[in-house]
Amino acid sequence: MTTTAGSTEVVEPDYAGRGLASVLPNVASAVGLDGWPDHLGLPPAPHYVVVLVDGLGHRLLERHADEAPYLAGLAEGTRPLTVGVPSTTATSLTSLGTGLPPGGHGVVGYTSRIPGSDRTLNALRWPADVDPVQWQPHTGVLERIGRAGVAASSVNKAEFAGSGLTLCSQRGVPFHGITSVWERLEAVADLCEAEDRAVVYAYESTLDHAGHEHGCTSEQWRERLRAIDADLRHLRDSLPDDTAMLVTADHGMVDLPLEGRFDVDTEPQLLDDVVVLAGEARFRHLYTRTGAEADVAGLWADRLGEQAVVLTRDEAEARGWFGEVEPRVRPRLGDVVVASLGDFGVFTSARFAVEMRMNGFHGSVTADEMLVPLLVDPPR
């Protein structure tokens, strides 16, 4: 569902239909496994390659179609998917891998509070004393596909082998570590050729990196998009004829001007009843003193006005932002959440100074961040 907040288009996540969490369950059906949904209309094929391009928002691909003729051609006439809330890599990759909303799998943001403490968990740089399998205990979809007799595997950067996020989202299947585009192409093609039926997941990170560093309106970002488009066309041409290739993403991105960057440390009264501040600039989790959540939400809403949607955790749950929330996950969600709109973000120079040096951002509920493509190149 799409609504408006001020002049900004807000997208509510679709966890039951055209959502990122539905991709691998629908792929399971498309390779012939019983008991899986097929509402995305994927073409049947014995081999599926699922490529996630980090940061390739649906709106960004529309605006830069000339830079990506292969992907833009696949996008013609298609409808996008929604990602979950927040629209950030760790949350989205775990939704893709588990088929669950954030309230189910529990990876609820880039950073979130470790319940019972004043510490935060960085889901991209997992702390050594937090077990990813306990944090996210659900069996992933790839593992379930493999148990059902279809070869399932993950092709990703070698440095991600055994990482906390990999264990949350892709555990239970062979991991093939690669260090270049060419190694990825060879590994994916070989895995498809080696088995009668196979599902291969592959990940592309460089577009997101270019966006964060230079902005998603920069020439550097467009150059990466052109290269990725060519790489994926080459990958498709290298696959067996009976293979379908599906391309999607984990979030879109927006650039934030300096004047839109609100440093909350300059107004410390906003933090008087906030014990822990987490999340990221476009989506903040505020963990408050007991009983202070309504006052904190009101204070922040009055200060930010139409620049953000400010909700208590209960209000965000009621809107379905996190899907069905398991009791073990609820304390990881902010007592108050702040979703930035337009050209605005909530920064903290004292806690997350690195964000002040970035240009491109994501995490919020705007259409630019929430909508991602569903691109399918069917078997020949």
Give the number of other Cβ atoms within 10 Å of residue 180's Cβ: 9
One domain, residues 175 and 66: yes
The Cα–Cα gap between 228 and 231 comes to: 5
The Cα–Cα gap between 271 and 264 comes to: 8
**Mean pLDDT of the residues in the chain:** 96
One domain, residues 128 and 251: yes
One domain, residues 46 and 153: yes
One domain, residues 213 and 285: no
Number of H helices, E strands in the chain: 14, 20
Number of domains in the chain: 2
- The answer to whether the pTM exceeds 0.75 is yes
One domain, residues 136 and 219: yes
DSSP letter string, 286-304:
EEESTT-HHHHHHHHHHHH
Cβ–Cβ under 8 Å, residues 336 and 300: yes
One domain, residues 247 and 292: no
One domain, residues 126 and 13: yes
One domain, residues 234 and 268: no
The Cα–Cα gap between 293 and 164 comes to: 31
Low-confidence residues in the chain, pLDDT < 50: none
Q: Say what the pLDDT of residue 274 is.
A: 98
Q: Please report how the helices 23-30 and 89-98 are oriented relative to each other, as an axis angle in degrees rounded to 10.
A: 30
Residue identified by tokens 């488009």 is 229
CATH number, domain containing residue 330: 3.30.1360.180
Domain interval for residue 280:
258-360
State the SS3 of 31-83.
CCCCCCCCCCCCCCCCEEEEEEECCCCHHHHHHCHHHCHHHHHHHCCCCCEEC
One domain, residues 34 and 153: yes
- Report the DSSP beta bridge partners of residue 95: none
Token digits of residue 54:
């980090």
In this structure, the dihedral spanned by the alpha carbons of residues 181, 183, 189 and 193, taken in order and rounded to 10 degrees, is -170
Cβ–Cβ under 8 Å, residues 230 and 316: no
Nearest to 377 by CA among 191, 226, 248, 251: 248
The Cα–Cα gap between 377 and 369 comes to: 24
Cβ–Cβ under 8 Å, residues 112 and 332: yes
Give the number of other Cβ atoms within 10 Å of residue 251's Cβ: 28
Q: Say what the pLDDT of residue 79 is.
A: 97
Q: Say what the pLDDT of residue 4 is.
A: 59
One domain, residues 292 and 207: no
CATH number, domain containing residue 139: 3.40.720.10
Q: Say what the pLDDT of residue 351 is.
A: 87
One domain, residues 128 and 57: yes
